Amino acid sequence: MFGTLARCAESLSATPHNVSVALLPPVPLYRHILRAHRRLPDEMRSLGDAYVKSEFRRHQEVTNPGYILGFLAQWKRYLDDLPGNEDRMFKGKKLDPTVFEKMSKEQLAQLYELMHATKNVWKPDAESDSAAGDKP
């Protein structure tokens, strides 16, 4: 997938199309995202790195050009939303309700699992301290 996809993404980013973001080829995009995660707190970085790696591995064999371009466009938007310097913290944003309507059952299940994984990582310190004190 990545050989022909890289040429496709390069040609799209070189010429204007109806795509709102300039696409990067998959491998450079993957590397840029992992580098941008270095500026995140350790917990967010480890969760984000694992998620990015699994998503790129999972989509490595995809051959549908439309799906690939959508995949790259969404990850490029994610990269653009990450903080570029130390002054700005990544806060995320709410999903558009129309996005939920377009998701498959598998995607909704994956989003639900991700929500629970992030809640476990970002428990307030008071909760984790009291929970640790309760256990022998």
DSSP state letter for 20: S
pLDDT tens-digit map of 68-86? 999 999 999 889 888 775 5
pLDDT tens-digit map of 75-125? 998 898 887 755 556 666 788 888 888 889 999 998 898 888 777 765 655
CA 69/CA 13 separation, integer angstroms:
11
pLDDT (0 to 100) of residue 17: 42
Using a 10 angstrom Cβ sphere, with 0-12 exposed, 13-18 middle and 19 or more buried, the burial of residue 31 is: exposed
The pTM assigned to this predicted structure is: 0.60
